[in-house]
Amino acid sequence: MGRGLVRRLAKAGRRVMVADQHADRAEQVAAEAGADQPGTASGVPEEQALAADIVVLALWYPATVEFATANQSALAGKIVVDISNPLDESFTGLSLPPTTSGAEELAAALPNSRVVKAFNTVPAPTLFTGEVGGTTLDTFVAADDADAKAAVMDLLRDSGLRGLDAGALANSRLLERLTAFGIELGQRYGLGFDFGVKYLPTTDLSVQALHRWLRRRRAACGPARSPYLGPRPAGRTRWW
Ligand SMILES: NC(=O)c1ccc[n+]([C@@H]2O[C@H](COP(=O)([O-])OP(=O)(O)OC[C@H]3O[C@@H](n4cnc5c(N)ncnc54)[C@H](OP(=O)(O)O)[C@@H]3O)[C@@H](O)[C@H]2O)c1
């Protein structure tokens, strides 16, 4: 995933700093994956990478949480992007109960950071190419902090992917499960990791259009109402 991330972020014109336990590997990945892109990519020491505004942890769960716990102060105030899927040994199931997610566990370990879930439904080979059969990839973005989510959505747009607002960070439970299901499908059809997940709306669903729609709905429904479902029916404590 590191290679694909460097590729996409360098395509977005950003300055990408790559850190790894082995410095030579970071330099090699930066040189190869960042080549011929508008942005720059270079291998740097871990402390330097942690000074970035947006830090993407391309580690397996639970190494994400262990790394975050050890670097909590360096990550304070940062946007931390979690791409992990807490898969179990079968790769088609999860090692966490359905009441939580890798992203939420990471957020609990980083109370002073803004955790954003993204990229986790995009297999590594397709992340590198950015498309499947000429179709732009989607990636779902879940976060509780609106500004952090918007920053990651901007990054995705510039990198040639389509970001879809996946709501609150707790929706990572679904997104992580979706990846496990995608792997199961990939196994059944002999695709391995050569697939992408695409949301196909019947009308134009640019992110800007979605945000305009949500703003209109929020204004119409008021803060205590669901922008998706409208006013709560009289006498009901829930919308459903
Ligand atoms: N592969 C996919 O198609 C895919 C798709 C979506 C999401 N993801 C998620 O992306 C994440 C990375 O997956 P990947 O396939 O890129 O794995 P990978 O190729 O094994 O890369 C993981 C990297 O993390 C490093 N690492 C492990 N523990 C570490 C620690 N404690 N501190 C610092 N570095 C550590 C590893 O270094 P060493 O090699 O030296 O151990 C390795 O460079 C996972 O969470 C996975 O669920 C993967």
| Structural contact between residues 138 and 162, judged by C-beta atoms closer than 8 angstroms | yes
In 3-state terms, what secondary structure has residue 101? coil
Query: Could you tell me if the CB of 229 is within 6 A of ligand 1?
Result: no
Nearest of 205, 116, 214 to residue 164 by alpha carbon: 205
pLDDT given at position 229:
61
Structural domains of the chain ordered from first start: 53-198 (3.40.50.720), 201-240 (no CATH)
Residue numbers of the chain with a pLDDT score lower than 70: 203-208, 222-234, 236-240
Distance 105 CA to ligand 1 centre (A): 17
In 3-state terms, what secondary structure has residue 196? coil
Q: What is the pLDDT of residues 98-108, one digit of tens each?
A: 999 999 999 99
What are the contacts of 19-25 at 24+ separation with CB within 8 A? 19/43, 19/44, 19/45, 19/46, 19/48, 19/49, 19/50
The CB density around residue 60, as the number of other CB atoms within 10 Å, is: 14
Distance 208 CA to ligand 1 centre (A): 33
Torsion of CA 152, 146, 84, 201, to 10 degrees: -80
pLDDT given at position 212:
76
pLDDT given at position 116:
98
- Counting runs of H as helices and runs of E as strands, what totals does the chain give? 10, 9
List the Cα angle 11/37/18 in 5-degree steps: 75
Bridge partners of 131, per DSSP, are 136
- Alpha carbon nearest to ligand 1 atom 9, residue: 84
